[in-house]
């Protein structure tokens, strides 16, 4: 005994506890377990001291190339952005991190007020009526938005743009297998023409390649045919671009990781989901509401819970229970530290760097940037190397986005280049030089 360093029981404690129960061994409590299944070997190596486990993990972590170790242009739904020092210090305090879902509001006001403030901050940023307290990530938020539109319209056809992030579209396709929805994928420019009979049109703006999309026209087309407009957004773009609520979107979803949450190899992140007031009873996920206690003091509680699985069971809006609350609190701390000024600055720097970089790259022979349409803080970079440019640049220690041809239909090939406030002038120089060398080496480019 004494094998679990977090178990406080001494042998004397255990003996006293067994005596109180009136048994001599825990085995006496396990009679219901089939004999041949008892005390299985699990194949787990022997335990380690805290110091040993720290060294072991440091060695494994050292095998990874970190984003900050060199020029880094990967982005998309997950973005390397500056995280103010106070963000983890506050959001990861044990009082938040080691609390449960706030089912006992009298002793959970910290969580509840922080989440209600998150809902408020995101509602302002997105200009939407209401935002829930989080979904798992951007991809599941997109899938749940489609299911919500299906419930609201009674239609089973969902039209999604090809230029929505590939992970989001693939997750949507998986979720659609449950209720057997028809998923139709078309280029963004053809969404409006496919509105007839659709529960919703799903548009991303800025899209996967940073291109700005006319959401208003798509929302109008959806509404004219009795469907809904679902807009996939990203947080920083809303600091500079007209927000979804002002563009006619009925449901807005997106990946909230850029709001102060570490890259962490893809999770845990933050699924953002908001909608118009009239639709809130079909929105999945927990929602916090304001009220008062019996003394008349302001307080907050989980509300509209009859939408949820613990009450409505098979008739619930979703099965979601555990969500990403601490990520929502993190986003809230991030936005309150950044304020409108630093948030705008972060967004602007990404835009400025991306455009500066694009204009330098465009001067290289056999390089094409984007589609000619306006873009935000990332763009498609096309060269004769296609997606292989990625491998060529990696040899120079430069990381760029995924090959386009592998993940997107009808979007050509190439790589995506993302800039943020952490992209430096030296990074730009390194990328321009490396692209020039890589394309110059390539036979097609030379000819």
Partner 1 sequence: MSSVPDDLRYSKEHEWVRVDGETATVGITAFAQEQLGDVVFVELPDAGARVRQHASLGVVESVKAASDVYAPISGEVLERNAKVIERPELVNAQPYGDGWMIKVRLADKGELGALLSPDDYRSHIGEGSAAAGD
Partner 2 sequence: MSRIRFETGTKTELPALEPLLFELQQPGRSGRHVRGGDEADALIPAAFRRTAPLPLPELTEPQVVRHYTHLAQLNYSVDAGMYPLGSCTMKYNPKINDRAASLPGFADIHPHQPDETVQGALRLVHELQELLAGISGMDEVTLQPAAGAHAEFTAILMFKAYHAARGDAKRRRVIVPDSAHGTNPASAAMCGFDVTTVKSDARGNVDLDALTAALGDDVVGFMLTNPNTLGLFEERVREVCDAVHRAGGLVYGDGANLNALLGVARPGDLGFDCVHINVHKTFSTPHGAGGPGAGPLCVKKPLAPFLPVPRVIRDGSGTYRRETMAEHPNSIGRVRSYVGNFGVLVRAYTYIRTLGEEGLVETGRDAILAANYLLALVREGYDVAYERSPMHEFVLTAAKQKRHGANALDIAKALIDEGFHPPTVYFPLVVPEALMIEPTETEPKETLDAFADALLRIAKRIETDPQSVHDAPVKAPLRRLDEVAAARKPVLRYRPA
Q: Which of residues 382-441 bind partner 2 (CB under 8 A)?
A: 390-391, 394, 399, 401-402, 421
Candidate ranges 222-230, 304-312, 364-372, 381-389; the one touching partner 2 (CB under 8 A): 304-312
Give least dist CB 441 to partner 2, A.
20
Candidate ranges 87-95, 185-193, 224-232, 439-447; the one touching partner 2 (CB under 8 A): 87-95
Asked if 23 touches partner 1 (CB under 8 A), the answer is no
Candidate ranges 241-249, 256-264, 304-312, 385-393; the one touching partner 1 (CB under 8 A): 304-312
Residue 12 burial (CB count, 10 A): 8
What string of H, E and C letters represents the secondary structure of 375-438?
ECCEEEEECCCHHHHHHHHHCCCCEECCEHHHHCCCCCCCEEEECCCCCCHHHHHHHHHHHHHH
- For residue 130, what is the enclosing H or E element? strand 130-131
Asked if 98 touches partner 2 (CB under 8 A), the answer is yes
Q: Which of 305, 309, 336, 342 binds partner 1 (CB under 8 A)?
A: 305
Asked if 312 touches partner 1 (CB under 8 A), the answer is yes
- For residue 185, what is the enclosing H or E element? strand 182-186
Asked if 311 touches partner 1 (CB under 8 A), the answer is yes
Nearer to partner 1, 38 or 315 (CB): 315
What CA–CA distance (Å, rounded) separates 374 from 211?
6
Asked if 44 touches partner 2 (CB under 8 A), the answer is yes
Asked if 245 touches partner 2 (CB under 8 A), the answer is yes
Candidate ranges 32-40, 186-194, 219-227, 435-443; the one touching partner 2 (CB under 8 A): 32-40
Nearer to partner 2, 217 or 364 (CB): 217
Asked if 306 touches partner 1 (CB under 8 A), the answer is yes
Q: Which of residues 275-294 bind partner 1 (CB under 8 A)?
A: 281
Place of tokens 């239909």: 409
Q: Which of 225, 303, 368, 371 binds partner 2 (CB under 8 A)?
A: 303
Nearer to partner 2, 91 or 200 (CB): 91
Q: Which of 11, 154, 177, 410 binds partner 2 (CB under 8 A)?
A: 177
59-68: list long-range contacts, CB under 8 Å, 24+ apart: 65/399, 67/263, 67/399, 68/422
What CA–CA distance (Å, rounded) separates 367 from 357?
12
Cα dihedral across residues 343, 349, 350, 352: positive or negative: positive
How big is the site for partner 1, counted in residues (CB under 8 A)?
Answer: 6
Strand 378-382 relative to strand 368-369: parallel, antiparallel, unpaired?
antiparallel
With CA atoms as reference, report the closest residue to 130 among 283, 246, 239: 283
With CA atoms as reference, report the closest residue to 201 among 214, 193, 191, 215: 191
Give least dist CB 111 to partner 1, A.
19
The site partner of 149 among partner 1, partner 2, none (C-beta below 5 to 8 Å per kind) is: none
For residue 268, say if its preceding peptide bond is cis, omega within 30 degrees of 0: yes
Asked if 32 touches partner 2 (CB under 8 A), the answer is yes
Phi first, then psi: give them for residue 422, nearest 5 degrees.
-95, -5
Asked if 86 touches partner 2 (CB under 8 A), the answer is yes
Nearer to partner 2, 263 or 445 (CB): 263
Contacts of residue 164, defined as CB under 8 A and 6 or more positions apart, other chains included, come to 142, 202, 203, 204, 207, 208, 232
Nearer to partner 1, 170 or 306 (CB): 306
Nearer to partner 1, 116 or 136 (CB): 116
Nearer to partner 2, 139 or 204 (CB): 139
Three-class SS of residue 26?
helix
Which residues are registered as beta bridge partners of 230? 202, 251
Nearer to partner 2, 345 or 364 (CB): 345
Candidate ranges 221-229, 236-244, 309-317, 419-427; the one touching partner 1 (CB under 8 A): 309-317
List the structure tokens of 396.
């120079």
Asked if 278 touches partner 2 (CB under 8 A), the answer is no
What CA–CA distance (Å, rounded) separates 26 from 400?
56
Q: Which residues bind partner 1 (CB under 8 A)?
A: 281, 305-306, 311-312, 315
């Amino acid at each position: 005994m004494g094998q679990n360093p977090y178990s406080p029981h001494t042998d004397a404690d255990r003996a006293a506890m067994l005596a109180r129960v009136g048994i001599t061994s825990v085995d006496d409590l396990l009679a219901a377990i089939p004999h041949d299944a008892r005390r299985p070997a699990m194949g787990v190596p022997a335990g380690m001291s805290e110091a040993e486990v720290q060294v072991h993990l440091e060695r494994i972590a050292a095998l990874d190339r970190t984003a900050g170790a060199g020029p880094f242009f990967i982005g998309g739904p997950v973005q390397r952005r500056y995280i103010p020092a106070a963000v983890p210090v506050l959001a990861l305090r044990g009082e938040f991190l080691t609390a449960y879902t706030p089912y006992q509001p009298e002793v959970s006001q910290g969580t509840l007020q922080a989440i209600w403030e998150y809902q408020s901050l995101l509602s302002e940023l997105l200009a939407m009526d209401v935002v829930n307290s989080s979904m798992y990530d951007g991809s599941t938020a997109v899938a749940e938005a489609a299911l919500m539109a299906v419930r609201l319209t009674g239609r089973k056809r969902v039209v999604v743009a090809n230029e929505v992030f590939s992970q989001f579209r693939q997750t949507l396709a998986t979720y659609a297998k449950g209720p057997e929805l028809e998923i139709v994928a078309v280029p963004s420019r053809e969404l409006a023409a496919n509105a007839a009979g659709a529960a919703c049109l799903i548009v991303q703006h800025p899209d996967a390649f940073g291109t700005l999309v006319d959401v208003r026209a798509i929302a109008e087309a959806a509404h004219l045919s009795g469907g809904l407009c679902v807009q996939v957004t990203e947080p920083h773009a809303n600091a500079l671009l007209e927000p979804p609520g002002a563009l006619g979107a009925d449901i807005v979803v997106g990946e909230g990781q850029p709001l102060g949450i570490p890259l962490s190899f893809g999770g845990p992140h933050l699924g953002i989901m908001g909608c118009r007031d009239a639709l809130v009873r079909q929105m999945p996920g927990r929602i916090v509401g304001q009220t008062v206690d019996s003394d008349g003091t302001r307080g907050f509680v989980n509300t509209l819970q009859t939408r949820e699985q613990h009450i409505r069971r098979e008739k619930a809006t979703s099965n979601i229970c555990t969500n990403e609350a601490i990520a929502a609190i993190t986003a809230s701390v991030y936005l309150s530290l950044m304020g409108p000024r630093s948030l705008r600055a972060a967004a602007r720097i990404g835009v400025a760097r991306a455009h500066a970089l694009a204009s330098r790259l465009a001067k290289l022979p056999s390089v094409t940037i984007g589609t000619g349409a306006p873009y935000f803080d990332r763009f498609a970079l096309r060269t004769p190397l296609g997606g292989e440019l990625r491998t060529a640049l990696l040899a120079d220690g430069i990381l760029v986005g995924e090959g386009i041809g592998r993940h997107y239909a009808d979007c050509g090939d190439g790589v995506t280049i993302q800039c943020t406030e952490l992209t430096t002038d030296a990074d730009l120089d390194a990328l321009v030089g490396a692209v020039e060398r890589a394309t110059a080496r390539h036979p097609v480019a030379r000819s």
